Amino acid sequence: MTPRVVRPPIEDVPLPTHQIPNQQETDYAYLRLLARSVGHRFTLDPGPNPGTSVGYWGPEPRADPSRPSRVIDLERLSGIETLRLRFDAIRRVQPEGLIIEPATKAIIPIPVPDLAALGPPLGAVVPPAHRHRRARQMAKLTPGQAAGALLAEASRSAEAMTGLGRLTVAPGAPRLRTGNIVEVRGASKPFDGLFAVSRVRDTITAGRHRQVFELRRAGLGATRRPA
């Protein structure tokens, strides 16, 4: 396995004299937990050669937004069987966190970092949060750990634009992979634009290769005009 690691925007390495991290899960589950705590994702991608894989630990999307892997034009469908897009207006929340300073026992509020720290959103406009939610189990965290956890929760809740589709992969054509970027056209202004592929399931039968895929992004509208 070849590791591909992107450092988180907020790093906090605990001092061994104060805290020694430990795990109670499998290594795979622990890596996913560490990624989730800072707004990243951990995935194992097969290839590029037989018997090899790439372990990716970093933010999504990992692909270049300026070069989408696929364009889905709803007015001229090619290989796309279905695509349903949905926006959840109340999904986004503004997390709030408090920590306790070990020496003085003072309660310190931690501000939520800017979402752009994890990368620019794929949508043109990110709607404001309509709800506030107090984050749990943060009292004993360091300021850096708390800020990273708040950023992760705010980033996940901002991904309120989702899609679910199914396509037929043409012979010789590249398949969609998790982390790819696709561009949707011909839906409507709020739903057009770039999406990250968050999950893919392949079904291969005699003479047919199908994929069910999920899309996700933060923000409404396209950030660029179609070429």
Cα 172–chain centre separation? 28
What is the rounded average pLDDT of the residues 124-148? 90
Buried b (16+ CB within 10 A) or exposed e, 133-157: eebeebeebbebbbbbbbbbbbbbb
What is the rounded average pLDDT of the residues 51-63? 88
pLDDT, tens digit, 9 for 90 and up, residues 172-217: 888 898 889 999 999 999 999 999 999 999 999 988 999 999 999 9
Spell out the residues 6+ positions from residue 22 whose beta carbon is closer than 8 angstroms to its own: none
Give the pLDDT band (50/70/90) at residue 136.
confident
Query: What percent of the chain stands above pLDDT 90?
Result: 57
What is the rounded average pLDDT of the residues 129-150? 89
Residue 18 belongs to what H/E stretch? Answer: none
Give the pLDDT band (50/70/90) at residue 227.
low
pLDDT, tens digit, 9 for 90 and up, residues 58-102: 988 778 888 899 999 988 878 889 999 999 999 999 999 999 988
pLDDT at 114 over 70: yes
pLDDT, tens digit, 9 for 90 and up, residues 140-172: 888 999 999 999 999 999 999 999 999 999 888
